[in-house]
Amino acid sequence: MSDALDRAPLLAPGQSLAGVTDHVSDIVLKRPTGRLWLAAFALSLALTGLLATGIVWLLMRGVGIWGLDMPVAWAFAIANYVWWIAIGMAGTFISAALYLTRQDWRSPLTRYAETMTVFAVSVSGLFPILHLGRPWFFYWLAPYPDRMNVWPQWRSSLLWDFFAIVAYLIVSLLYWYVSMIPDLATLRDRAATRGRQVFYGLLALGWRGEARHWKRFETLSLLLAALAVPLVFSVHSMVALDFSEGLLPGWHSSIFPPFFVAGALFSGFAMAMVLGLPLRHWFQLGDFITPRHIDNLAKMMLAAGLFVDYSYLMETFTAFYGMDRYDVAMTMQRFSGAYAWVFWTTIGCNVVAIQALWWQRVRANRAALFGISVLVLIGMWFERFMLIVSSLYHDFLPSSWGMFYPTFWDIAFLAGSIGLFFLLFLLFVRVLPIVSMSDMRKLVHRLQEPRP
């Protein structure tokens, strides 16, 4: 570890209050639309179109367009869902948890991390609904009085999952929006054209920066943060219970909730890195997102990764320690079965690759960091796939064993969801401040006054 970086400044010298605001607001208000942005936008738009087509086809034909079968009745859709909602976690963690723990260095990262959360959760929310045999009845999971006089089945984890997602989506949306209000007001005031003034003005909800406003703003942020942090853990523990509740070998395990939360933060930090590095590069945010920020992110990624690796170890250990016939068989299947390559890919990405992060030189190398983060994202998707399929395709009775083969539409939905996410994110960087100006101004202020 390097003490140098720990004492490195959180903000490049020579940044003034005005400078910060100018730099960030100009990205939205003045900077022309780049060719690269257009290219990326076109690509994401195409993928989103693919997703839309897939959804229409799905609603017309049924989930049979995917490769699902008996025994593997869950596969891509659920893997995608868990993957996306996990990515969402880190955003809330960075902004809320670090906010509560008064970590100054979080300021420049919060905004785009929260945005990442909101979009990731929205995308993930699609899959639980689409994977239903009759998606148009998804609202039957909600308890509401109707002419049938029947209620949901409260023992099912899927039901609680439904609530968890909805709650998390609402809270993260609020938290994201509320924290943006002062910046929106800034943009309103700086906007040149009438249209933009109205647009930002509407969103700013008449923020005038009065002390009264700031007081309520601070209270609300604190409350929402306090609400969001437990959600980070509850939501993903809930997702984990979707599997733990099953009695399948490889699912029926009490280790899952902490394991899933760690995995969530792991992939979330990776995504934060994958988004942060390009932003920093293209929008010259080097002064705000300093090497020290990136270094911290990398360290957190490593920490979460190590926890995940530990869970892999424990899973295998308990299988052999418990000597349950089915657990052992399933574990051996993971190592050497038809889907062994999935397992080893996971290990390669989530265990081997991240070990490089021990070295400061790697953490300082943007390209390497980016590469490793992408690997982690891939690895975490494969982990979910492995978890679901390797338990299902060889369960209890040998007679009912069967393989899963993805169809074109399985791939299309995965690619499409990625497209949708980036589509939203690209729009975000064009119309909303990617760094929280209010937070940065506070940071500048705090750094400039002499510490007591």
Partner 1 sequence: MGQVFHPRFGLYVQLVLLAVLVSLVCGALVWRASTAEPHGVDEPVEQPVPFSHKHHVGDDGIDCRYCHSSVETSAFAGIPPLSTCMTCHSQLYTDTAALKPVVDSWRHGVALHWQRVHQLPDFVYFNHSIHVAKGVGCVTCHGRVDRMPLTWRARPLSMQWCLDCHRAPQQYLRPRNKVFDMAWQAKDQAALGMALVKRYHVDTRRLSDCSVCHR
Partner 2 sequence: MSANTPEANIAMQALRQRMAGAQGPRFWRALEELADDAHWRETLHVALPQLVALAPMDRRRFLKLLGASLALAGLAACSSPPQEQMVPWLRQPEGMAADSARFYASALACAGDVCGVLVETHMGRPTKIEGNPAHPASLGGSAPALQAAVLELWDPDRSQTPLHHGMPATWDDLFAELARLSRGDGRGLRVLSGAIVSPTLAAQRDALLQKFPAARWHQYEAAGQGQTLAGTASAFGTPLQPIYHFDQAQRILALDADFLGSMPGRLAYARAFARQRKPPQMNRLYAVEPTPSLTGAMADHCWPMSHDGVGAYARQLAGVLGVGGVGDANVDDPSLRAVADDLRAHKGRSLVLAGETQPRPVHALAHLLNQALGNIGHTVDYIAPMQAAAPDDSLASLCKAMDAGDVQTLLVLDANPAYDAPADLPFARALPKVPQRIHLGLYRDETARLCDWHLPMAHALESWSDLRAWDGTASIVQPLIEPLYAGRSAHQLLAAMLGQPMDIRALLQSRWHAGDDEGWSRSLREGVIADSATAPTNPSAVAASVPASTTSPSGELELLFRPDPTLWDGRYANNGWLQELPKPLSQLTWGNAALISPALAAERKLVNGDVVELRVGERHLRAPVWIMPGQAARSITVHLGHGRRHAGHVGDGVGFDANALRSHRAPWREGDLQLHATGERIELAATQHHHAMEGRAPVRAGTLAEYLHNARFLQPDEPATPPSLYPPKPPGEYAWGMAIDLNACIGCKGCTIACQAENNIPVVGEDQVRRGREMHWIRVDRYYEGSAQAPHTHHQPVPCMHCEHAPCEVVCPVGATVHDAEGLNLQVYNRCVGTRFCSNNCPYKVRRFNFLQYADVKTESLKAQRNPDVSVRNRGVMEKCTYCIQRIQTAHIAADRDGRAIADGEIVTACQAACPTQAITFGNIADPHSAVSKAKASPLDYTLLAELNTRPRTSYGAHLRNPNPALEDDA
Tell me which residues touch partner 2 (CB under 8 A): 61-64, 67-74, 131-134, 136-138, 140-141, 148, 150-153, 155-159, 162, 242, 245-248, 325, 329, 392, 395-403, 405
Q: Return d(Cα 68, Cα 388) in angstroms, integer.
A: 12
Binding to partner 1 (CB under 8 A) within 121-150 occurs at 146-150
Rg (C-alpha) for the chain, rounded Å, is 23
Shorter beta-carbon distance to partner 2: residue 246 or 278:
246
Of these, 1, 39, 202, 223, which contacts partner 1 (CB under 8 A)?
202
Which run of H or of E encompasses 58? helix 35-61
Q: Return d(Cα 243, Cα 331) in angstroms, integer.
A: 16
Which of partner 1, partner 2, none has residue 149 at its interface (CB below 5 to 8 Å by kind)?
partner 1
Shorter beta-carbon distance to partner 2: residue 148 or 192:
148
Q: Is 188 in the site for partner 1 (CB under 8 A)?
A: yes
Which of partner 1, partner 2, none has residue 69 at its interface (CB below 5 to 8 Å by kind)?
partner 2
Q: Is 367 in the site for partner 1 (CB under 8 A)?
A: no
Q: What are phi and psi of 191, to 5 degrees?
A: -60, 140
Question: Residue 21: which residues within 8 A CB-CB, separation 6 or more?
Answer: 186, 437, 441
Q: Is 197 in the site for partner 1 (CB under 8 A)?
A: yes
Shorter beta-carbon distance to partner 1: residue 31 or 196:
196
Helices (H) and strands (E) in the chain, counts: 17, 0
Shorter beta-carbon distance to partner 1: residue 205 or 403:
205
Which of partner 2, partner 1, none has residue 62 at its interface (CB below 5 to 8 Å by kind)?
partner 2
Q: Is 198 in the site for partner 1 (CB under 8 A)?
A: yes
Which of 227, 239, 184 lies closest to 207 in space, CA to CA? 184
Angle of helix 17-29 relative to helix 437-448, nearest 10 degrees, comes to 160
Residue pair 425/116 in contact (Cβ under 8 Å)? The answer is yes
Instruction: Work out whether the CA dihedral 199, 200, 201, 206 comes out positive or negative.
Output: positive
Shorter beta-carbon distance to partner 1: residue 188 or 236:
188
Contact range with partner 1 by CB under 8 A, out of 86-94, 151-159, 200-208, 429-437: 200-208
Residue pair 267/376 in contact (Cβ under 8 Å)? The answer is yes
Shorter beta-carbon distance to partner 2: residue 60 or 211:
60
Q: Return d(Cα 50, Cα 419) in angstroms, integer.
A: 9
Task: Copy the structure tokens of residue 287.
Answer: 């002064």
Give the shortest CB-189-to-partner 1 separation in angstroms.
8
Give the shortest CB-334-to-partner 2 separation in angstroms.
16
Which of partner 2, partner 1, none has residue 323 at its interface (CB below 5 to 8 Å by kind)?
none
Of these, 108, 182, 201, 263, which contacts partner 1 (CB under 8 A)?
201
Give the shortest CB-54-to-partner 2 separation in angstroms.
15
b/e map 275-289, b = 16+ CB within 10 Å: bbbebbeebebebbb
Question: Residue 211: which residues within 8 A CB-CB, separation 6 or more?
Answer: none
Dihedral in degrees, nearest 10, Cα atoms 445, 297, 273, 97: -70
Q: Is 36 in the site for partner 1 (CB under 8 A)?
A: no
Number of residues that bind partner 1 (CB under 8 A): 13
Shorter beta-carbon distance to partner 1: residue 186 or 390:
186
Q: Please report, as ranges, the residues that interact with partner 1 according to CB under 8 A.
A: 146-150, 188, 194, 197-198, 201-202, 205-206
